[in-house]
Amino acid sequence: MIEQLLSEKTKEALNSLYGASVETVSFEKTNPDFTGDLTLVVFNFLKISKKKPEDTANEIGNYLKANVSEIADFNVVKGFLNLVISDSYWLNYFNSVKNKDFSSTKLPENAPVVMVEYSSPNTNKPLHLGHVRNNLLGFSVAEILKAAGNKVVKTNIVNDRGIHICKSMLAWQKWGNGETPESSGIKGDHLVGKYYVEFDKHYKLEATDLKAKGMSEEEAEKNAPLVLQTKEMLLKWEKGDKAVRSLWEMMNGWVYKGFDVSYKMMGVDFDKTYYESNTYLLGKNIIDDGLAKGILKRREDNSVFIDLTADGLDEKTLLRSDGTSLYMTQDLGTALQRFEEVHFEKLIFTVANEQDYHFKVLSLILNKLGYSWAKGLHHLSYGMVELPEGKMKSREGTVVDADDLMSEMIKTAEATTKELGKVDNLTEEEAQHLYKTIGLGALKYFLLKVDPKKKMLFNPAESIDFNGNTAPFIMFNYVRVQAMLRKATDAGIHFDSSETMEITSVLPKEKELIIKVHSFETIIQQAAKEFSPALIANYTYDLAKEYSQYYHDTSILKEENNEKKIFRLQLSNMVGNVIKASTKLLGIEVPERM
């Protein structure tokens, strides 16, 4: 890569010119307002040179131009050294990668292992819009990490036990009349979610009645008959009551089948799935070890805690006074279990920013307990997805259901695509596949193009726009390339990418496209480092936008010079391949026709 060569040569220049050595030298893309491809900011070197910024930049520029054949020219703007890389370098690079499969990654044998956890649904309700962002983010980060040279293990932990699960179970017992997914025609996770909402309706009526009889709101919420019955059911579950366990297995089975349908539609998968019912007791051995080391303390009521006040936090309870475990206890245990299973270098938890405190404490406790691998824990904290009306509330039945959302996106894509006349030459089967590809691609891109840390407002109509920073715009430019290549083939134009054209200079926009492709690998590494699919998404949009302008402004098929025509077809093909590879990292399929 040219940046690495220039970095080494700049270090050489600093040593030769000023007798100084530096560890790192980095370049940035030149500001569009100035001439150049890469820029070196020289202000950091003024202590070494003991000269003015312009003089330092000129001396380094002259040295590099004299010693690096790839540099055609340079200019200085105050303390910024702008380097112009020769056309021959970019053409040599183009010829070296035009046959490359940009979507293929060969992992080294010693590739670091990274485990990425995402989804983490509850089995008392179907997946909703928040889960969609979680799944798409986790899956995309896993694909990006894989492309960056890591061995990735994608994992899911299903929250399949607890009081919230018992609420759905109890409501079905009371008001379900034996209803099943088969008898009702309702998808299993939706059916269970229906009874979660049903529980809440009846529970609120009971709590209101108790408050009318003189109880405080807190007392009424704790003593509502339905709440007491769910607590009793949970105790029976923990004791292995056959009837309760049988009901639990049946209803969870409905949910798992429903989740599988949603995951398949969403295009995400997992290498390993854990279940809270198998892991909730994990962590107690870690607690015993921490007590023995004196790192954890026991209170007079027998509960166990760790004092984190010196770290600016508080006292964190890890075991209740009755010896039962908490979520933190379970997470300590599952983290250890996972490390022992796969010996990861990093374990990434894809969880909304509402849990920032939890994961900060988890990592801190494991570090204090002496687990060196805990330094590899990372909370991929993301902002919530909100609606114009505000936050979603699943127990009130006001969530944006994931299945309904995906279905509506496909319908919207169908209406928009038909209106634009992009299915005129397709069979019905091809058209239906196109609607699904556009609709789901639009959804994924809209949710992933935003920096994960940011809260976002969901706008489905905006995501389907064929002219904005959207998946349909990117898809349209990919399809445009494929259509042109088919037309060239039909016309008998041979643009075999193994053939090298004797081109010595390129148009500015052609150079820009080659430079953009050249930066793809760097963007992947940066996105992997920052766990940010947004970098890939916006890179892809910029590439598609650059190509769109090139396509409009440049003669390709009608170019009279055969060498230039074939080069431009090869360049178009390479851009199409990179678009396809980059959208794949986002979990987005691109259509071949529209």
CATH number at residue 526: 1.10.730.10
What is the tally of structural domains in the chain? Answer: 3
- Residue 370 inside a domain? The answer is no
* DSSP codes of every residue in 41-90: E-GGGHHHH-S-HHHHHHHHHHHHHHH-TTEEEEEEETTEEEEEEPHHHH
What proportion of the chain, given as a percentage, has pLDDT over 90?
Answer: 82
pLDDT tens, position by position, 559-580: 999 999 999 999 999 999 999 9
Tokens, residue 237 = 């579950």
Return the ∠ at Cα 244 (arms to 241 and 250), rounded to 5°.
Answer: 130
Q: Which of 484, 479, 441, 489 is nearest to 593 (CA)?
A: 479
Query: Is position 23 within any domain?
Result: yes
430 and 563, same domain (yes or no): yes
Residues 448 and 535 placed together within one structural domain of the fold = yes
Q: Would you place residue 499 in the very low, low, confident or very high pLDDT band (cuts 50, 70, 90)?
A: low
User: For residue 391, is it within any domain?
Assistant: no
Q: Which domain holds residue 411?
A: 403-585
The residue written with tokens 């390129």 in the block is 506
Cα-based angle 342, 141, 482 (whole degrees, multiple of 5): 125
Q: What is the CATH number of the domain that holds 45?
A: 3.30.1360.70
Q: What local confidence, expressed as pLDDT, does residue 76 receive?
A: 97
Give me the half-sphere count of Cα atoms (radius 13 Å) on the Cβ side of residue 84. 11
| Residue percentage of the chain with pLDDT more than 70 | 97
Residues 565 and 453 in one domain: yes
In a domain, 124, yes or no: no
CA distance 568 to 512: 13
- The per-residue pLDDT for 463 is 84
Looking at the structure, tell me whether residues 445 and 574 fall in a common domain. Answer: yes
| 92 neighbors 77 (Cβ within 8 angstroms) | no
pLDDT tens-place string over residues 468-481: 899 999 999 999 99
| Confidence bin at 324 (pLDDT 50/70/90) | confident
Q: Are residues 186 and 80 in the same domain?
A: no
pLDDT at residue number 398: 54
Phi, psi values for residue 505, rounded to 5°: -145, 155
- Alpha carbon distance 352, 350 (integer Å): 7
Residues 431 and 570 in one domain: yes
194 shares its domain with 57: no
Asked whether the predicted pLDDT for residue 142 surpasses 70, the reply is yes
Tell which of 40, 59, 85 closes a domain: 85
The answer as to whether 522 is a domain residue is: yes
Extract the tokens encoding 99. 């046959």
Structure tokens at 535: 């970098």
Query: Residue 501's pLDDT band (boundaries 50, 70, 90)?
Result: low
| Greatest Cα-to-Cα distance within the chain, rounded to the nearest angstrom | 91
433 in a structural domain:
yes
For residue range 331-364, list pLDDT tens digits in order.
999 999 999 999 999 999 999 999 999 999 999 9
Evaluate the CA torsion angle 529, 531, 532, 536 in order and state its sign: positive
Q: Which of residues 269, 290, 319 is at a domain's end?
A: 269
- Asked whether residue 421 carries a pLDDT value surpassing 90, the answer given is no
Residues 6+ apart with CB under 8 A from 247: 169, 172, 173
Alpha carbon distances (Å) from 477 to 285, 423, 442, 469, 589: 57, 16, 14, 12, 14
457 close to 383: Cβ distance less than 8 angstroms? no
Other C-beta atoms within 10 Å of 254: how many? 21
Q: Which residues have C-beta within 8 Å of that of residue 303, sequence separation ≥ 6?
A: 317, 319, 320, 321
CA atoms within 13 A on the CB side of 98: 23
Residue 183: exposure state from Cβ atoms within 10 A (0-12, 13-18, ≥19): exposed
Q: Is the pLDDT of residue 182 over 90?
A: yes
The yes-or-no verdict on residue 322 having pLDDT over 90 is: no
Taking residues 301-308, report their average pLDDT: 95
Task: Report the SS3 class of residue 134.
Answer: helix
Residue 34 token pair: 């100035």
Residue 498 confidence class, pLDDT cut points 50, 70, 90: low
- Please, which pLDDT band fits residue 495 given cuts at 50, 70 and 90? confident
Where residue 392 falls among pLDDT bands split at 50, 70, 90? Answer: very low
As a whole number, the mean pLDDT across the chain is 93
Amino acid type, 453: K
Identity of the amino acid at 379: H
Considering the domain boundaries, does residue 311 fall inside one?
A: no
3-state DSSP call for residue 350? strand
Helix (H) or strand (E) holding 3: helix 2-18
- Considering the domain architecture, whether residues 66 and 194 belong to the same structural domain is answered as no
Residues 6+ apart with CB under 8 A from 370: 293
Q: Is 302 exposed, middle or buried (0-12, 13-18, 19+ CB in 10 A)?
A: exposed
Q: How far apart are CA 235 and CA 237, in angstroms?
A: 5
Task: Show which of 43, 65, 85 is a domain's final residue.
Answer: 85
Predicted local confidence at residue 389, as pLDDT = 57
Residues 69, 166, single domain; the answer is no
One domain, residues 414 and 509: yes
pLDDT over threshold 80, residue 585: yes
Residue 118 has pLDDT above 90, yes or no: yes
Tens digits of residue pLDDT in 12-39: 999 999 999 998 898 998 998 999 999 9
CA 548 to CA 469: how far, in whole Å? Answer: 13
Burial, 61: exposed, middle or buried (Cβ in 10 Å; 0-12, 13-18, 19+)?
Answer: buried
Q: Are residues 439 and 571 in the same domain?
A: yes
* Whether residues 73 and 214 fall in one domain: no
pLDDT higher than 60, residue 393: no
Residue type at 180 in one-letter notation: T
Is residue 396 very low, low, confident or very high in pLDDT (cuts 50, 70, 90)?
Answer: very low
CA 295, chain centre distance (Å): 36
Length of the chain in terms of residues written: 594
Q: Tell me what pLDDT residue 388 has.
A: 62
* Residue 395: per-residue pLDDT: 44
Closest CA to 127 of 393, 444, 386, 401: 401
For 224-274, write each residue's pLDDT tens digit.
999 999 999 999 999 999 999 999 999 999 999 999 999 999 999 999 999
Backbone angles phi, psi at 390, to 5 degrees: 120, -155
User: Scanning the structure block, which residue is given the tokens 């279990």?
Assistant: 337
398 located within any domain: no
Name residue, tokens 């040279």.
149
DSSP 546-566: HHHHHHHHS-STT-SSHHHHH
Q: What was the pLDDT predicted at 556?
A: 96
User: Cα(351)–Cα(383) distance, rounded to whole angstroms?
Assistant: 9
Q: Which residues of 257-293 are buried (b: 16+ CB within 10 A; e: fewer)?
A: ebbeebbeebebebeeebbbbebbebbbebbeebeee
